[in-house]
Structure 1
């Protein structure tokens, strides 16, 4: 058993629920920051003035909330880490369940911005020594962008376990990738959902072409979904265009019922309405985004949220040397 006496969990207010689950799994104390916003828009992050731990695990998801923009959240994390380091914390490990700008990880033209590199530099300069996130868009890009140790937790096993309880045993199951980029994820989901009782899970894929950043068209479909329960899987749901089109396509090919499963449920408008309108049976997401974006929408009763904080705690314990925490 690793000693936890020199480690503490620190969190921004919006991430308190995730942080409590995470710290409970590790058996360490959790402290919540106080964030003040001044009339001119400037921010101040304050920690409790008590004794600081040797190692601080700082929990903050880089996603917009109902009260703060993504960029406000980034500055709160930067300020919070810097404050901890100046207060005597020796090592800061960031637990960032959703890593904003992770999709901006490569250049297609010389003048393109690589947002992931810029965000990682800010966090490194503030004093973050290591980073743990969940299902990052491109793990190799994260390792290239961050100066320090970085890990991406696989959320598929706990999410598949949670989803399995909602799937009827008597109906055959298929997992569908909404595009070529999600094919590897679909295979992982199919493996996680396969059991001796249910047997092998079939795979399907929708072939899409993106015509605008917020619009896609689907040209072809591969796989057998007729009469089956289908789970369409992706790493995130943003405006819901890709997922809604894939759900609709599965129904057009005879699916019995279609679920949507994605680690990061950004669910930016009009995603809740889009998914409800195509008749999605349920939407399964992880708790990597602080706010519930489906309140007072037709999707509210179909949303299922999986707590992946214990999985993150287990991963951090596994990758760090004995005594680090």
Structure 2
């Protein structure tokens, strides 16, 4: 069964890079909007009897990119594809995994149900905001990690005075994984979220005075968490030699203005989402095409992802 790779409009450069790694051409699909805003998707080549892979991060605008993925999946299923796999490097709504108050939806569960309804057979994701999201899916979910890639990219510029810093308690396990790979100590910033964009820091656990912090998180969205953490670290006497590492660099809303005002020497993120244009901050990209292409090839051949997943698990603390 031949691999056929299609992509929506969310991250065409990554899709093209993965296609090249696989030695296939990017599939011919029309994905556009009518004048009234309705989405129109058309698969313009045969997928009958082919192993279809759809590459689409559900990044901002999240709803539009989710709709593109769902329409592509439904079109391929109706055209006779026996198996349709969604490779979703960034999974939108991952933070909507519970109700913060009594009258809210569980958005992540709803999106997972929509994936199944659209006819997807399997989902491949990278560094979900909450690994427990796997329980929301009734279809297999393969959870890859970019932590080893990011740690390897950071290794040349760390020193014996470096310290891994989690900007909040939610990132503490992620910080431990980076620390195990880079053999560095860990500090944790304790924050209180005031709104969707603003946070307040009230304590730091761990030694940061005179050290060079490497702030690590799964994503950078509006930059509020990073801004608060950096200011707290500077107030605690850290060295003015700060770096930020995250899998997903969204950089939305006030992020660029906020982060460009901080003494951060580099931001290291993957290309899970399309790179921000005209970035006012020093952003370095780590490519995911090799990781994603290898996962696709293993799944296509019916082989286990154990060795691939073990690279990320090696960075996880023992359970």
Same fold per TM (> 0.5)? Answer: yes
CA RMSD of aligned residues (A): 2.0
What's the counterpart of residue 88 of structure 2? Answer: 96
> Please, which runs of 5 or more residues in structure 1 have no aligned partner?
195-200
- Output the CA distance in 1 between the equivalents of 2:241 and 2:25: 43
Secondary structure of the residue that 1:31 maps to in structure 2?
coil
Partner of 2:232: 249
SS in 2 for 1:217: strand
| 1:149-188 equivalences in 2 (<5 Å) | 149-165=140-156, 167=157, 169=159, 172-188=161-177
Bigger drift between 221-230 and 304-313 goes to: 221-230
Q: Deviations over 1:19-75 (max 9, x none)?
A: 1222333344421422121111111112223454521010011012xxxx3212111
Residue 53 of structure 2 aligns to a residue whose secondary structure is: strand
What do the CA deviations read for 1:142-166 (whole angstroms, capped 9, x no partner)?
A: 222211100111110011111223x
Q: Partner residue of 2:280? A: 298
Q: 1:168 to 1:78 in 2, by over 3 A?
A: closer
Summarize the Cα distance change of 1:109–1:220 in structure 2 as closer, same or farther, 3 Å threshold.
closer
Question: Is residue 261 from structure 1 mapped to residue 257 from structure 2 by the alignment?
Answer: no
Inter-partner Cα distance in structure 1 for 2:265 and 2:207: 19
Taking the aligned partners of 1:17 and 1:311, their CA distance within structure 2 comes to 15
- 1:236 corresponds in structure 2 to 219
Describe how 1:75-224 pairs up with structure 2 within 5 A. 75-140=67-132, 142-165=133-156, 167=157, 169=159, 172-194=161-183, 201-224=184-207
Task: Tell me, yes or no, if the aligned pair for 2:47 and 2:76 is still in contact at 8 Å.
Answer: no
Contact 2:28 2:45 in 1 (8 A): no
Q: Quick check: 2:168–2:189 contact (8 Å CA) kept in 1?
A: yes
**How far is 1:314 from its partner?**
2.6
Q: Distance in 2 between matches of 1:25 and 1:297?
A: 28
Q: How far 1:323 sits from its partner (Å)?
A: 6.8
By how many angstroms is 1:229 displaced?
Answer: 2.2
TM-score by length of 2: 0.88
Q: Is the 8 A contact 1:59 1:94 kept in 2?
A: yes
Task: Give the match's secondary structure for 1:235.
Answer: strand
Alignment check: 8 A CA contact 1:96 1:131 kept: yes
Distance 1:280 1:101 in 2: 28
Q: Which moved more, 1:279-288 or 1:32-41?
A: 32-41
Contact 1:230 1:257 in 2 (8 A): yes
Shift of 1:93: 0.4
Q: Is the 8 A contact 2:124 2:143 kept in 1?
A: yes
**Total equivalences in the alignment:** 303
Query: For the Cα contact (< 8 Å) 1:251–1:257, is it kept in 2?
Result: no
User: What is the CA deviation profile of residues 65-109 of structure 1, one whole-angstrom value per residue up to 9, with x for unaligned ones?
Assistant: xxxx32121111111111111111010000011111111011244
Please list every run of 5 or more consecutive structure 2 residues that lacks an aligned counterpart in the other structure.
Answer: 305-319
TM-score normalised over the length of structure 1: 0.87
